[in-house]
Amino acid sequence: MQSQDVAQRHAPASSRNQGPAVDVGRAEAALVEHYPRLVRLAYLVLPPTLGRGRRVLTAHALAQRALPRGRKQRALIPAQSAGRDGDPGYDFVRLRVLRSALEASEPRKGLPKLSQLPAPLPQVWGLRLFPRSGGADELALDQRLSTLSGPARAAFVLRGLEGLTDDDVRKILKAAGVTRTESALAGANGVPAQYGLLASPEFDACSLQARPTDLMRRRQHTKAAVAAAAALAVACVLVALPGGGWGP
């Protein structure tokens, strides 16, 4: 027993601070079980300047990309006592969703990161999807959150939606790559703590309304595409004729 205690005391700090290994199956189970919550978290952290429709699709894309690539991944932070009953799988995918949402909130410098590119999946054609409208309080909260930086929005959401303490919020933000955690917490303090509103349908990117896109513009684009395809087909036929098809 004594030798084990000594070994633990002299173990590298990085290995002690890392959480248990999270395999793909456990991460996938956590993702499926808590998918609506993870999508809501991503939607709230993403910048409102994206527009509601694009925020919805991006939030789903970030949640679906949260699975680890290898068979096992080492959790970067210990399981949080208040986070989904301390499930390491949930903590792991939540961190990956949060990191991607923060990267998507950053201004582009040079080559864009994967999270800043338009998501190949999911895609919706011919429809605009957006959450159900809330009340005046939800609208006011969304406007206040839009004035914050990405890390400050993340701090507010981790406090309110996840019910984490400031110490846990600091750990998660640092693990997500945020360097100025105190500034993020201070920014979150500038928004009234109306945490109950975060559970509103206004921010539920899984319960959506659908409306058609601009029908007139879509019809014009369809006509133009058909005309271009017809012209291309005629050109191909003429080129295939003996002598090139253009001469007498």
Q: What is the pLDDT of residue 33?
A: 93
* CB contact at 8 A, 163 and 84: no
As a dihedral over the C-alpha atoms of residue 62, residue 38, residue 166, residue 78, rounded to 10 degrees, the angle is -80
Listed by start position, the domains of the chain span: 2-213, 214-248
Q: Any idea how long the chain is?
A: 248
Q: What is the pLDDT of residue 88?
A: 85
Extract the tokens encoding 54. 């694009």
pLDDT score at 26: 85
Q: What is the pLDDT of residue 100?
A: 93
Return d(Cα 153, Cα 163) in angstroms, integer: 14
Give the whole-angstrom CA distance, residue 193 versus residue 37: 19
pTM for this model (two decimals): 0.73
Report the chain (248 residues): mean pLDDT per 10 consecutive residues: 38 44 81 94 92 90 83 50 67 94 78 63 73 88 93 96 94 94 95 93 87 64 69 72 55
Q: Which amino acid is at 126?
A: G
Whole-number Å distance between alpha carbons of 46 and 154: 9
Structure tokens that stand for 24 in this block: 């793909």
